[in-house]
Chains A and B, each alone.
Chain A
């Protein structure tokens, strides 16, 4: 549910992301055949990539471990996500792998990064988009 919730929140900012000349790209740890189902539940129409070997997660410094899923905070985040109407579906991918967000500009500069500490610890979509907008704004 956390994954879908986060993508839906970011997808709601699609207009602002496009206005900044940027693209939202989603990476998941499931195999490519699970992308269609994910797309259906999130209504996300942009690029979705599969990384079952977790090579990009590792290279991006995303965290991993069972205790990150069993952390008590996860229950709080779970109730919050459910209150927003996001139920947990059948897990497709490595459930101990945490996610996160990077905002990357041409040349490879990282202008925003968030590495989830536990399941449900997502960067607020507003913060992500605000960082993007600030990063691409021409210098005065």
Chain B
């Protein structure tokens, strides 16, 4: 079964958490599924 896969540039993105730590997105789904919700803003 073919399935769309995450673009490499998304997996490579490094975002910052509230403690200032960098998190590589691709690491988040390495071991388990994730629901990745992009909100419009923090308002």
| Interface residues in chain A, defined as those with a beta carbon under 8 Å from any beta carbon in chain B | 1-4, 6-7, 10, 17, 20-30, 32-39, 47-51, 55-57, 59-60, 62, 88-95, 97-111, 113, 116, 119, 128-129, 132, 135-136
Contacts and interface: CB of A to CB of B under 8 A. Distances in A.
B5 A108 contact: yes
A111 B41 contact: no
B33 A7 contact: no
B43 A90 contact: yes
Interface residues on B, range: 20 to 34
Contact of B15 (A3, A27, A34, A135): A27
A93 B15 CA distance: 14
B27 to A, nearest CB: 11
Contacts of A135: 33
